[in-house]
Amino acid sequence: MPVSDSMPTAGKFVAAIGLGALGWIGSELYRPLMPAETQFGMFNYVNVGLGIVCGWMVTGRRLGHGYATSISAGLTGLMALVFWALFFQSLNEMLRLALDRRINGLMTGFTTMLEIAADFALVMLDGTLIGVLLAGGFLVGVLGEFVARRWS
């Protein structure tokens, strides 16, 4: 890993803020797709945190190499955000079920977590949500590249 990969840059900052905002917007678009009795708790805040981390570490590291690469970086950061959001939200739900004593083993917990993640991913198959996320990932990549070129 080159030394510059761990240094803070304006492009990384913009990508982190952009994917964090996209995490919040995506969370707000996801909420109406779930049943009305769903309790979300820290749902939005966890997704914002994941967006900031993915923006900094995934998208931000790949900025500064041209607009085509930056669009790819923005979409890759978005996919990382979706993956980790599904992982942590399904882990949280599995732990809730385990604490309610509905899961009684490690492998049962793991398979339940995968089933929950698949269910959450199926709920995400909404045209508006997918369109906003893809447009946001594209925009984060382009804005991050613009800032990386302008202030580096």
Range of the domain at 95: 3-150
Where would I find the H helices in the chain? Answer: 10-30, 43-54, 67-99, 106-123, 127-150
Find the largest Cα–Cα distance for the chain: 55
Looking at this protein, which amino acid is placed at residue 121?
A
Q: Is the pLDDT of residue 1 over 60?
A: no
pLDDT at 7: 84
pLDDT at 6: 73
Give the chain's domain count.
Answer: 1
The CA distance from 98 to 101, in Å, is 5
